[in-house]
Amino acid sequence: MPRWSWFREAAERVWRGWPQVLESTLAATVAWILATVLVGHPQPFFAPAAALIVLGQARGQRTRRAVEVLIGVAAGVLVADVVIQALGARHTLTIFTVILLTIVGAVAVGATGVSVVQAAVSALYLVVIDPPGENLIPFRFVDALIGGAVALVVSQLAAVRHPLDPLVAEFRQTFADLSSVLHEAADALDDHDPVAAKAALERARGMDSAVERLRTGVLAAGEAVALHLRRRRHRGRLRVVDASIGQIDYAVRNARVLARAGVTLTRTPAPVPADLGAAVRLLAEAVHEAGEAIAADLEGRETVADECCARAETAALEAVRIAGRLFLPGHPLPLAMIIGQVRSTAIDLLRSVGPDDDAALLARIDEALGLPAV
């Protein structure tokens, strides 16, 4: 069973990553064809290499990385050529000098780690494998240019027509996962099941990576929007969702604390209040609606976004209202923690989907919780 489970997980990873696999394979092959067939380079190693290096960078950074790769390759080749002419090829002193000068130069101009490595590898390749002659410097530079350009074009093919679609899908997936975590926590509370509560906590701990994917997705969408004719409208939407990611991060952390308190509560002999699971489920519903609101806003469906936002607020306030009624003297501390996290998650969730006045939002939340008006 563990072996089949591993194969299943591997197949799922391949299925999720097949666009990147296809993208990288296509870019490297096209770069090689362009350099060999159209340009006529005999062994254009740096064309597919540069394509793979650029595509290997985080989404949203490929344009800058492409420029860095070009500069790194050109600098490495230039340093190697000069040093080889002075010291000769394939000598220990030559290798030491070329690598030292290349890395120092790359660091001096502010290149990042991958660009420093690319520059050093380019120079080392020429010193050890193929010492440069009079025509090799332009070959290497043009090869890197071809590879970087092909990588950028291939990476943007799917995004040119609908540049925000990948980000919309990422938001929907993130909010669906967070909603599912809360549903699992609610089921564990209803069943007084510490094993299920621990499973929900483990899933909640894994949500941090989803938030990072959202941040990366915003960068990637910004890069794609730069090639879009109607980019001004898209940029406005991106600014809005980018500002909301911080609140989403807080909501994810709150849900993790809620799940941890759920583990503690299910381990105690005291019965779990019947309505606690209902409150957490309503919070999960609010999470789902908030995700749909952000997705609809990115898609330009403002009316749908407003409707989803209203439903998210209704569900969140009802969750806080139900949880507030459970806050009675003598109840265990984990219950109080869950009630507090229902409130905190609702606040951060609603802050992420609406430009509402913060004081008014807090007043509505506290009124639902049963706290006196300030």
- Is pLDDT at 1 greater than 50 in this prediction? no
Pick from 67, 130, 120, 71: which is nearest to 98 by CA?
120
Instruction: Tell which wins on pLDDT, 9 or 142.
Output: 142
The whole-number pLDDT of residue 362 equals 82
- The last residue of a domain, from among 156, 187, 202: 156
Which residues neighbour 314 within 8 Å (Cβ) at sequence distance 6 or greater? none
Residue type, 5: S
Three-class SS state of 250: helix
pLDDT in tens, 173-188: 889 999 999 999 999 9
Residue 110 to residue 12: CA distance in whole angstroms: 39
Radius of gyration of the chain (CA): 27
- The last residue of a domain, from among 135, 156, 177: 156
Same domain, 113 and 149: yes
Residue 182 to residue 283: CA distance in whole angstroms: 7
Same domain, 342 and 208: yes
Going by pLDDT thresholds of 50, 70 and 90, the confidence category of residue 292 is: very high
Same domain, 184 and 248: yes
pLDDT in tens, 107-151: 776 666 767 777 787 778 777 776 655 555 557 778 878 888 888
Residue 9 lies in a domain: no
Same domain, 258 and 346: yes
- The last residue of a domain, from among 88, 121, 156: 156
The whole-number pLDDT of residue 106 equals 77
Q: Which domain holds residue 188?
A: 165-369
What is residue 163's DSSP assignment?
A: T
Average pLDDT over residues 182-210: 91
Same domain, 189 and 311: yes
Q: Which residue has the tokens 């009630």?
A: 339
Average pLDDT over residues 157-186: 83
pTM of the model: 0.69
- Is pLDDT at 32 greater than 50 in this prediction? yes
pLDDT in tens, 363-373: 888 788 776 65
